[in-house]
Amino acid sequence: MQARTLPEVMARHAAQPAEDKALHCWDGSRRSYFPVSYGDLSKRAFAFGAELLESPGDIAGRVVMIACHTPYATLVAFYGAISVGAIPMIFPMPLSLGSHEALTERIKHWGFAFEQPALLVLEAGLTEKFHDEIPPQITVLRISDNPAGEWQTLDASANQHSPAPEDVAFFQTTSSSTGDHKAVAISHQNIIANVVGIRHAQHMDDNERMATWLPLFHDMGLVGTVLFSFGNNYPLLIMTPTQFVKRPSIWLKGMSDYRCTIATAPNFGFDYCSRLVSDKDAAEMDLSGVKHLFIGAEPIRVSTINSFCNKFAVCGITPQTIRPAYGLAESTIITTMTDPDKVSQFVCLDADSIGINEPVKILDSMTFDDSKMVDYDASKMIAVCTAGRAIEDMLVEIVDEEGNAIREQGVAGEIAITGTSVALGYVSGSAELIDRFPQGRLRTGDMGAFIDDELYILERIKNLVIRHGENFLVSALEEQLADLLDVSHEHVAVFESNIHDPSSDIIVLVERHAPIDDAAVNNLLVEMPKEAFPINKILLSRSREIPRTTSGKKRHFYCRKMYQHNEIKFQQEIEVSPQRIMQAMNAVRTDA
Amino acid sequence: MSDQNNIEQRLSALIAEKTKLNATDIHPALNLEDSGLDSFARIELILVIEEEFGFELSDAESANVATIADLITLIKEKTATS
């Protein structure tokens, strides 16, 4: 019988022989993986749950913030919290956030967002200075970062916690920008439905093996690889994003050595491997056992897939291995997946034809192994991969701005989803804890269209920038920039110049009557939050230039369209470079 | 030339290369967060440092580095123990 909750999955693992399937943690100093069976991991988590029970106050429904560098410590804390009915929430670490201050700020926000102060789990290795910045009302628990060390174990949950499937399992943060604190509540039922749905959609069996470097604060890393492997009892090789960025070949070599069959990464991960893994290393690997390389979390570039397939054909990668998918934290992780039995298709579209309730103009279509790959004018055309079809128990619709379903194939609109993988709702500070999605239907803020019954992601309506697979909601940044430039936040729009190019420029369009002088720009550059993504260009317009809806909301994707067509009327253009930032910093020092 | 100066010079050259800053802008008090490097580029810088000096830094060690002076101290510690 299928387990219905994570504690049930943990109990099953704990009952298995010690040498059973395992989490293999990359040890950079020893250049090898250290295995810990899922049974041992579960027993250590049960013991950590017992430690949580010793904390002052009730543990049931209490939020446990997890701030650990190593995946192993993160997961012991995560499963430990779940085992006693607490609600874990994994935070990005300073290397991702850009500073210790950003982590402290996050801890202070979420630590006091609920009726009871949240608990905080910190890993050995964080500085004492950091400890001093934690408010004394927050109870801190320490956890070892060494999977090979001595660990307490328990055979079962310390308080016999047995949640209902619809109960909250964990909170997933959904964006990484400073000042923006958004999270979704994921239930046990959501996790199980998604984990089972992916397996069925891809016709997987009991013998799969995975490898990952994805961050565990991200839904693709936590649900898409770790909970997916744990729930299906698949061995998992795991390394940190930092270890991957430093040496991407380790990820692929691990897949080769351990005969892995599944891996998942955003576009930039595949692009990064194509650029940085040497031909010699590629030739020494055997990736012929890999059946599914899932790609998602950020716009997928056809050129990335082509480069990756060409580079790693020598070790057995074929175009059919690449499996584009679409998902978001609000749908636990996966919403749609491509068919594992055929090579995925992509279409070349007239970029000007993309608009809500408008038919998209298809100029060409082909598959990844199609030799007729054409050169196209990126300013006028976009190449978009299929994201496939909804996994079981999920319904995907295209809707217009009023939320009415658009039934016609090839007509663009907002993507709306319903089904058992749709999260319970957004986490709120209210007594109800969760703002539930109306009728369980989520309007995603992404624009798409069905072509031959498969979903294609075309644009982004929501105010979001994606870099290196991480989401940054720009609303908080717009408010900060507005303060610095002395205008209302209604007069600032931050947008990517091309969502289909993950390295495209990030533009700030400012409506401000007076010119921006050097002092204002310097203030902006110096005071910009360190964890914000880099801005490349500031455009100043003296007229009302930001396109808006009839109710006055900014339409960022139209900003992008206008920018691409040189239609933004601006009076001043300021390029922002690292040198420019340094000049501003030095000016401040000199003044001081 | 002292070890300290040697490490500082090698480090300054690596940072100048990565950030495209002038060597005169790179000094021990410089905070890496102010150097124009995003978090991704900082990790790439750490890799270059690891390869230059022949050791590997853990995520926690990398995260605890704030200034060039922190880096110099860490490099001295690591080279002494490796």
pLDDT value for B2: 61
A592 pLDDT exceeds 50?
Answer: no
Between chain A and chain B, how many beta carbons pairs sit less than 8 Å apart?
A: 75
Quote the percentage of chain A above a pLDDT of 90: 60
pLDDT value for A383: 86
Does the interface ipTM go beyond 0.90? no
- The phi and psi torsions of A511 (rounded to 5 degrees) equal -100, 110
C-beta of residue A239 within 8 angstroms of C-beta of residue A249: no
Measure Cα distances from A93 to A68, A103, A216, A520, A557 in Å.
7, 7, 10, 31, 31
**Cα dihedral A34, A39, A40, A44 sign:** positive
The structure tokens 């490898």 sit at A211
- Cα A257 to chain centroid distance, Å, stands at 27
Tokens at A386, concatenated: 């299929």
pLDDT value for B16: 83
Query: pLDDT tens digits, residue range A102-119?
Result: 889 889 999 999 989 999
A326 pLDDT exceeds 70?
Answer: yes
Least reliable range by pLDDT among A22-31, A112-121, A522-531, B17-26:
A522-531
A369 pLDDT exceeds 50?
Answer: yes
pLDDT value for A141: 93
pLDDT value for A178: 46
- A142: which strand partners? A122
A55 pLDDT exceeds 60?
Answer: yes
* Nearest chain B alpha carbon to A587: B25
C-beta of residue A469 within 8 angstroms of C-beta of residue A298: yes
**Helix %, strand %, coil % of chain A (to 5):** 30, 25, 40
pLDDT value for A370: 62
DSSP state of B21: -
As a whole number, mean pLDDT of residues A490-501 equals 87
CA distance A181 to A311: 40
* Nearest chain B alpha carbon to A68: B60
**Cα dihedral A357, A363, A367, A368 sign:** negative
Q: Tell me, what CATH number does B50's domain have?
A: 1.10.1200.10
Query: pLDDT tens digits, residue range A425-479?
Result: 999 866 678 999 988 899 998 999 999 999 999 988 877 787 766 667 777 778 8
- Residue of A123, A246, A465, A588 best to disrupt the B interface, most CBs of B under 10 A: A246
**Which helix or strand (DSSP H or E) is residue B7 part of?**
helix B3-19
A227 pLDDT exceeds 90?
Answer: yes
pLDDT value for A60: 93
A374 pLDDT exceeds 60?
Answer: no
Residue A512's contacts (CB-CB under 8 Å, 6 or more residues apart) are: A485, A486, A487, A491, A540, A541, A542
**Cα dihedral A410, A411, A412, A418 sign:** negative
As a whole number, mean pLDDT of residues A83-92 equals 96
**Structural domain containing residue B62:** 3-81
Over the range A190-216, which residues count as b (16 or more CB within 10 Å of their CB) and which as e?
Answer: bbbbbbbbbbebbebeeebbbbbbbbb
pLDDT value for A231: 96
Measure Cα distances from A219 to A36, A502, A555, B70 in Å.
23, 19, 27, 33
CB contact under 8 A, A123 and B60: yes
Smallest CA–CA distance, residue B65 to chain A, in Å, is 10
Smallest CA–CA distance, residue B47 to chain A, in Å, is 6
C-beta of residue A137 within 8 angstroms of C-beta of residue A84: no
As a whole number, mean pLDDT of residues A409-436 equals 90
CA distance A581 to A477: 17
As a whole number, mean pLDDT of residues A523-544 equals 77
CB contact under 8 A, B21 and A579: yes
CA distance A319 to A258: 22
Query: pLDDT tens digits, residue range A272-311?
Result: 999 999 999 999 999 999 999 999 877 788 888 989 999 9
Least reliable range by pLDDT among A14-28, A43-57, A242-256:
A14-28
> Cβ contacts (< 8 Å) between A582 and chain B: which residues?
21, 25, 34-36
* Nearest by Cα to A454 from A544, A505, A390: A390
As a whole number, mean pLDDT of residues A152-174 equals 94
Structural domains in chain A, sorted by start? 1-163 (3.40.50.12780), 474-591 (3.30.300)
Smallest CA–CA distance, residue B8 to chain A, in Å, is 20
* Nearest by Cα to A62 from A121, A106, A5, A117: A117
Least reliable range by pLDDT among A213-227, A473-487, A550-564, B28-42:
B28-42
- From the list A70, A577, A586, which residue is nearest B25 (CB)? A586
Q: Strand, coil or helix: what is A125? A: coil
Query: pLDDT tens digits, residue range A113-154?
Result: 998 999 999 987 676 667 788 999 999 999 988 888 889 999
Query: pLDDT tens digits, residue range B58-69?
Result: 888 888 888 888
- Residue of A25, A72, A95, A96 best to disrupt the B interface, most CBs of B under 10 A: A95
Q: Strand, coil or helix: what is A393? A: coil
Query: pLDDT tens digits, residue range B4-54?
Result: 678 888 888 888 887 777 777 788 888 877 776 777 778 888 888 998 888
Instruction: Please give the mean pLDDT across all residues of chain A.
Output: 88
- Tally of CB atoms within 10 A around A39: 22
pLDDT value for A177: 47
Choice between B54 and A378, residue whose per-residue pLDDT is larger: B54
> Cβ contacts (< 8 Å) between A246 and chain B: which residues?
43-44, 46-47, 50
Residue A54's contacts (CB-CB under 8 Å, 6 or more residues apart) are: none
CA distance A586 to A312: 46
- Tally of CB atoms within 10 A around A86: 25
Least reliable range by pLDDT among A6-10, A27-31, A59-63, A338-342:
A27-31
In residues, how long is chain B?
82
> Cβ contacts (< 8 Å) between A96 and chain B: which residues?
39
As a whole number, mean pLDDT of residues A409-422 equals 96
A562 pLDDT exceeds 80?
Answer: yes
Count the domains in chain B: 1
